[in-house]
Structure 1
């Protein structure tokens, strides 16, 4: 693989990076460097009003401080809207997408009266707008008709460097949203398209995204995109054994940076597994 490996770190600028992000960036960076390959930084900045310029600046500053330099300037999803629109239109013309005008309260009410399967993201969408096409003027999303898409794709597999070959089961997610009411594209669609466009050969990301790979593998097949290899690395946990997260206000890297900590030294400690400040590695 020497010289051919391309990885990426793809944070969303909707909050400050924390130590878990540093570890994920380190895994992608070092994997590429081990094989003499390239490491990219992609800013996933299409999440409506949650994406803020100050967080973008902080991400770039944090990466510089850590010494995890990408091979080129950061890429921005907001520059790729035409790419997402083209894929949406292709899937729509194939009869695989349908409009959905349901609100969260609409879905919650429907679920009271219709039992549905549960998957990694919770209860499946009950199929209201699939069986009764939405034709209103209110904002709507585009959902993937999962049963139709899976029937078209047939059996799919993907490879994880830690877990081995996996059989993809996108049906476990039901009719996922691929085009949101409040953003140009869902994470599933945007990330899959951008990985292909950037020539990402190895998707290095946390184990919390393991299950989503089934949906991404399906989209790769439907859109005739190359299939990367995956490595879903262990997660950094806090002292309570829970994943570090922005939503839990995990300590920000910028706070450490402003306090005068040495970024490369922090990264070296992560590499050596000697950071014992109430945080542990888990491969569960």
Structure 2
């Protein structure tokens, strides 16, 4: 009887038919019956996981389409105005072309970030690794963002020790520190301070979360700002793709909504963990680790 039920199950599973009918729910209580029930439970769990993944993919595709639609519509609108008004003055034409270019840069950023996330999702083992000097990398990011920081009256306090070296992918590690910096510049507020610190792996006892089950040591980083922060209910969702605390404001700032998702994925790929909390005295505090 159990063999017959298993044969029915296999046939229905193969043809994508329902498996919730009475004749498949209960098996006689013998060894084969127990194995059969486990097989069906595993199969149903896999089906459920697959449905959830399909739903997430659909949501992500819809989000991507929505994000791409805005800059494309803007570019079309400005170009149509220029084409339909041949007598438009040079100053106005220049202004519209400048806005087109800004929107095309936003499109480029979106496509780059989507490509980065896809690369991490599809083939994390394909990313090339090398010894990366984090201390030097952060100094370069400070130089690259100096003008933006100055325009907002912000200060970047870099307290990293010299010569922090991590084995990993150069571009993904750069994305971690650059996206956190860009996020703070965009949302912390004028006149605020960013503070980056790190603790050496040997400063931690073995049972701390800075050493793995396999005993591998990690650098522990804290990236904090004393800005406006976000309310507690938003914290668990900050690393979600396209999640925005303030949708309108975020888009005006030019953010892709993918920066913190890239940060989290890149940290996980480098054997670390990351969490975000409200900073004492205001702002956000990101605490993350990277394997040496």
Bin of the TM-score, shorter chain as denominator length: under 0.3
Structure ranking higher in helix proportion: 2
Q: Which has the higher strand share?
A: 1
TM-score (norm 2): 0.21
TM-score normalised to the size of structure 1? Answer: 0.22
Structure possessing the higher radius of gyration over alpha carbons:
2
Q: Which has the higher contact order (CA 8 A, sep 6+)?
A: 1
